[in-house]
Amino acid sequence: MCGIWAIFGSDDDVAMQCNAAHKITHRGPDAFRLETIHHFPNCALGFHRLAIVDDLAGMQPMRVFKYPHIWLMYNGEIYNHKLLEEQFNFDTSTACDGEVIIHLYAKGGAEYAAKHLDGVFCFVILDTAERRVYVGRDTFGVRPGFKSYIEQKGFLAVCSEAKGLMPLQQIDNNVQITIFPPGHVETYSLDLSGRATYVNTTRFHKIGEPPVYKTLVNPVDDDVDESIRVLLDAAVHKRTMAERRIGCLLSGGLDSSLVAALFVRKAKEIGIKYPIQTFSIGMENSPDLLAARKVAKHLGTEHHEVVMTPDEGIESLKSVIFHLESYDITTIRASVAMYLLSKYINEKTDTRVILSGEGADEVMQGYIYFHKAPSPSEADTESLRLCRDLYMYDVLRGDRSTAAWGLEIRVPFLDHRLTSYFLSLPPEVRQPRDGIEKYLLRAAFDKTGLLPNDILWRPKEAFSDGLSSVKRSWYEILQDHLCDQINEGELEEASSKYPHNTPLTKEALYFRKVFESFYPGRADWIPYFWMPRWTVASDPSARTLKYYKNE
């Protein structure tokens, strides 16, 4: 995980504005560099590095001798960089995965470059010869990106997190800070004084479309189970690209357990020497802790358990909301445990790359409410909607909760080749079957011995639910505590004070107030509260649904 920060066309003291770059120091604790641009003194590029690949030569902003006019900053991982170097015979000067972005841009432009990247990224390319700036973000928005553009001033700013742009309010109280759209590239021109002018926005890839780049592993004809197995295995394999220690978040649920199991197997095949560490968190005797313990024993990992107390969770709320830049209820609930677990990993271990199971529920219809879908077509539509919005919810949670503690999260279930194949299957076969969600995924690994059978077929449980006891959920603990923090009068006035996404509960109002204290007037960063469909529900917790299996 790294952090990028850039400004173009500033009329103010660039040195003063550059202080804002330090708002995202947590994303890259290993090194920091800030550069102004020759002939463009009102432009600056800032980079916080978490060194994962090419420790010696991978620092940014990056330039190479062959293309001295091209400047690159990116946050992400390009898993196919070696394949691209071989395919196009690129003469690279570093072992850094991102250098191929420069060569691809020089060959075919920014959109061409983005189309050929198998990975996750948010990049800024500055071409001083053409006086152009390009910003691009990966298809699912796994890596974050925000921008601020003041047209009348010719001012453009880009940052990995919104908190690095909030100080720009000193330039203009009405400055807009918006989320950069996943799957797109934007182009800006610079005049001779460095001021930016918006040119256009292009979409380079859509969720569900096959990638244009070459892949080493492809689906197996007429064999869905084998195709799922080989594509997920390949997705995990790609994500072993690292010079730092790799571990796994392990809730004991299907998704994280499959990822951990495949990684443990792959680690042996490729000769990783260190013991694989797995990490779980929960309250005493929570379902997740018990299930994760069983999986870890089966896999033979060096397992770490963090027992979370209600007080620790409650005390972390403000920090969690600050890092998330969100007030969504279920996102905050689930992020607390992930935030505390990431803190433990950072402080107690040398693992810096984390594999996790995010994305499977959206792509593979894993949420419990999919049992209520009126038709395969509507379930397919809902799955695609969830995938398109992932960057504002679960993907956001995974990124911010880990980046807050200088870790890099990798999510194999959002691999382009895997997702495009799975979403191409007929809608009726992707639905829950025989009362079991993600049936295709479970069936693909049935009788392989990869996981214990009761784990492979364990019913879905949300992260924020599984970490607490079945008798008293984390959301109930939160609601009981926050009931005393908000009075009835405040709740009655919420609709007039917060017309967008009006908080309807004291818990939601508390979250909103904390969010507004850090990011006043930025409620439009999320379009709606995440809630289940096709059911009468007043709370996003799966434990409030009639379908929930109380075991």
CA dihedral 276, 303, 236, 146 (to 10 degrees): -110
Indicate if 100 and 34 belong to the same structural domain. yes
Rounded-to-integer distance, Cα 235 and Cα 233, Å: 5
Domain end call among 470, 491, 522? 470
Residue 451 lies in a domain: yes
Count of domains forming the chain? 2
Residues of the chain with pLDDT under 70: 461-466, 468-471, 541-551
Q: pLDDT tens for residues 389-416?
A: 999 999 999 999 999 999 999 999 999 9
Residue 548: predicted pLDDT: 47
Indicate if 76 and 160 belong to the same structural domain. yes
Indicate if 121 and 186 belong to the same structural domain. yes
Domain end call among 406, 435, 470? 470
The total of other beta-carbon atoms located within 10 Å of residue 265's CB is 14
Residue 546: predicted pLDDT: 53
Indicate if 441 and 359 belong to the same structural domain. yes
Indicate if 140 and 235 belong to the same structural domain. no
C-alpha count within 13 angstroms, C-beta hemisphere, residue 378: 9
Residue 124 lies in a domain: yes
Residue 545: predicted pLDDT: 56
Residue 235: predicted pLDDT: 98
Pairing of strands 67-78, 196-203: unpaired
Rounded-to-integer distance, Cα 443 and Cα 225, Å: 7
Residue 485 lies in a domain: no
Q: pLDDT tens for residues 337-383?
A: 999 999 999 999 999 999 999 999 999 999 999 999 999 999 999 99
Both tokens of 373, joined, read 């879908």
Indicate if 198 and 249 belong to the same structural domain. no
Return the closest-CA partner of residue 301 out of 271, 274, 283: 274
Give yes or no: 2 in active site.
yes
Domain end call among 415, 436, 470? 470
Residue 326 lies in a domain: yes
Residue 339 lies in a domain: yes
CATH number of domain containing 363: 3.40.50.620
CATH number of domain containing 159: 3.60.20.10
Return the closest-CA partner of residue 412 out of 355, 456, 450, 362: 355
Rounded-to-integer distance, Cα 328 and Cα 321, Å: 9
Indicate if 39 and 167 belong to the same structural domain. yes
Indicate if 156 and 279 belong to the same structural domain. no
C-alpha count within 13 angstroms, C-beta hemisphere, residue 293: 13
Indicate if 253 and 361 belong to the same structural domain. yes
Q: pLDDT tens for residues 209-221?
A: 999 999 999 999 9
Indicate if 155 and 26 belong to the same structural domain. yes
Residue 290 lies in a domain: yes
Residue 278: predicted pLDDT: 98
Indicate if 421 and 308 belong to the same structural domain. yes
Residue 522 lies in a domain: no
Residue 286 lies in a domain: yes
Domain containing residue 361: 229-470
Rounded-to-integer distance, Cα 352 and Cα 342, Å: 10
Indicate if 176 and 235 belong to the same structural domain. no
Cβ pair 137, 143 in contact under 8 A? yes
DSSP conformation letters of 463-529: HHHHTS-SSS-HHHHHHHHHTTTS-HHHHHTHHHH--TT---SHHHHHHHHHHHHHSTT-GGGSSS-
